[in-house]
């Protein structure tokens, strides 16, 4: 069967095929959008929700909206996200600052909680730069010691890697659930258990999992997590991140950016800071109401179709890409740089080719949009709710025609 016919058949039987029409169509030609893991597409409902916000809660209710709904919005949206995507019971998830700032706040809290007898932060050299940079800054600031793992770049951090380094001096283990380059899906429950057995806390970065791979934070006993909302959650450029703090830790953690919005009585304007109970203490300044508005529609959509169905389509799309690389693109030097076993892979597939950078540039000129990742990666992030098999097939055929015509 040829690729397009195969794709058409898969689209015909795809239980999530209908969700693609819920997204705002591109106003200019777009052959294939394969970068939903960097910036998700907007839902039509989000356009309406933003307009309604400007006209209603902002334009009409004005300052009254803080009392009527905005003060609690970080927690209302956080709880909805926790239920739909994170396996988190209410009262443990809040929408806040950027991922970077929330990483700082939670990692700094965890280091302080661990205390001087457990000064080590375990992290890996393949993690996203901001995670590594934040940890480096905290090490300078607090004297914490960084214990680096160097996983195979085509995979990621395994249970054994972590087990080999944690011990009586480990304060916190900081890892990404899905590796941003290889797509490797770490074993979150087992790694969490290994860290806990050593007496350490875990902080998971869920940027590439939230809205793509089901997460079971409560069931796995995770301590802390952060993740962003402009990737698979389609919150829009710069939409704020979320943080999760297990209920048991909330009373004993204090975060470093003590602002008035995290105070126990926000409008008392008192002489000094006293942290609020619950998740409010992890808020610093005025919540980004406009910026967290877009996330809500995707959370509602995922809640209605179920995160397991999203994951199933995601796996199908990735396997579709891998099968075509093997059958038709390998002969041009394209390799699969992600784990082949779907159980060990998140929502994207990374291909490698020596000319990846120029190939991606040429694809963009043809309105096929994957992304390039150093040193030789073509990252295919087909967001399951907004991407059809036909679209992925068109992208693969464009890549093949470029490879065939290469000098």
Ligand X SMILES: *Cc1c(COP(=O)(O)O)cnc(C)c1O
Which residues of this protein are in contact with ligand X, per CB under 6 A? 98-100, 128, 130-131, 176, 180, 205, 207-208, 228, 241
Strands 170-176 and 201-205 come out as parallel
Number of neighbours of residue 60 by Cβ within 10 angstroms: 10
Catalytic residue among 128, 273, 332, 372: 128
Which sign, positive or negative, has the C-alpha torsion 22, 28, 34, 38?
negative
Active site residue 230: yes
Nearer to ligand X, 40 or 262 (CB): 40
In whole angstroms, how close is the CB of 99 to ligand X at the nearest point? 3
Q: Specify the residue for token string 């791979």.
A: 213
Q: Nearer to ligand X by C-beta: 98 or 338?
A: 98
Q: Pick from 198, 278, 214, 211: which is nearest to 245 by CA? A: 278
Q: How far is the CB of 142 from ligand X (least distance, A)?
A: 21
The residue behind tokens 């797509």 is 183
> Looking at 14, 131, 187, 205, which residue is catalytic?
205
Q: Checking phi first, is residue 272 left (phi over 0); if not, alpha (psi -120 to 50) or beta? A: beta
Report in angstroms how near the CB of residue 107 gets to ligand X at its nearest: 12
**Which of 172/241 has CB closer to ligand X?**
241
Q: Which two tokens stand for residue 195?
A: 């860290």
Is residue 128 annotated as a catalytic residue, yes or no?
Answer: yes
Min dist. Cβ of residue 294 to ligand X (A) = 14
Q: Which of 108, 155, 181, 231 is catalytic?
A: 231
Annotation marks residue 231 as catalytic = yes
Q: Among residues 275, 111, 133, 284, which one has the least CA distance to residue 203?
A: 111
DSSP run (H or E) holding 400: helix 389-405
Residue 292 Cβ, how far from ligand X at the closest point, in Å? 13
Q: Which of 104, 230, 282, 389 is catalytic?
A: 230
Find out whether 227 and 206 touch, Cβ atoms under 8 Å: yes
Nearer of residues 40 and 384 to ligand X, judged by Cβ: 40
Helix (H, G, I), strand (E, B) or coil at 106: helix
**Cα(312)–Cα(365) distance, integer angstroms:** 31
Q: Which is nearer to ligand X, 42 or 119 (by Cβ)?
A: 42
Which sequence positions are flagged as catalytic?
128, 205, 230-231, 379
């Amino acid at each position: 069967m040829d690729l397009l016919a195969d794709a058409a058949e898969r689209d015909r039987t795809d239980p999530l095929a209908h969700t693609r029409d819920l997204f705002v169509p591109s106003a200019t030609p777009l052959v294939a959008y394969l970068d939903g893991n960097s910036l998700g597409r907007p839902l039509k409902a989000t356009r309406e929700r933003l307009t309604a916000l400007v006209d209603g809660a902002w334009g009409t209710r004005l300052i009254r909206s803080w009392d009527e709904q905005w003060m609690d919005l970080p927690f209302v949206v956080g709880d909805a996200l926790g239920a739909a995507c994170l396996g988190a019971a209410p009262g443990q998830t809040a929408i806040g600052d950027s991922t970077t700032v929330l990483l700082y706040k939670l990692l700094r809290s965890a280091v302080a909680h661990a205390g001087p007898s457990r000064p080590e932060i375990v992290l890996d050299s393949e993690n996203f730069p901001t995670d590594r940079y934040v940890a480096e800054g905290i090490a300078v600031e607090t004297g914490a010691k960084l214990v680096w793992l160097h996983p195979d770049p085509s995979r990621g951090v395994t249970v054994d890697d972590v087990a080999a380094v944690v011990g009586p001096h480990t304060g916190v283990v900081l890892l990404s659930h899905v590796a941003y380059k290889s797509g490797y899906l770490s074993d979150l429950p087992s790694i969490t258990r290994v860290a806990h057995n050593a007496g350490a806390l875990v902080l998971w970065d869920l940027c590439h999992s939230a809205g793509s791979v089901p997460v079971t934070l409560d069931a796995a006993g995770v301590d802390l997590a952060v993740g962003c909302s402009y990737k698979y959650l389609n919150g829009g450029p710069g939409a704020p991140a979320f943080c999760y703090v297990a209920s048991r830790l909330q009373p004993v953690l204090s975060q470093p950016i003590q602002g008035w919005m995290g105070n126990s009585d926000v409008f008392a304007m008192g002489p000094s800071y006293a942290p609020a109970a619950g998740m409010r203490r992890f808020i610093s300044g005025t919540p980004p109401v406009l910026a967290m508005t877009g996330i809500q529609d995707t959370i509602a959509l995922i809640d209605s179709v179920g995160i397991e169905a999203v994951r199933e389509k995601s796996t199908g799309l990735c396997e579709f890409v891998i099968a075509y690389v093997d059958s038709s693109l390998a002969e041009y030097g394209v390799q699969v740089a992600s784990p082949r076993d779907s159980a060990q892979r998140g929502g994207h597939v990374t291909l490698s080719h020596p000319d990846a950078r120029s190939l991606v540039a040429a694809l963009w000129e043809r309105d096929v949009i994957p992304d390039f990742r150093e040193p030789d990666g073509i990252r295919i992030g087909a967001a399951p709710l907004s991407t059809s098999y036909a679209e992925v097939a068109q992208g693969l055929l464009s890549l093949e025609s470029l490879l065939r015509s290469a000098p």
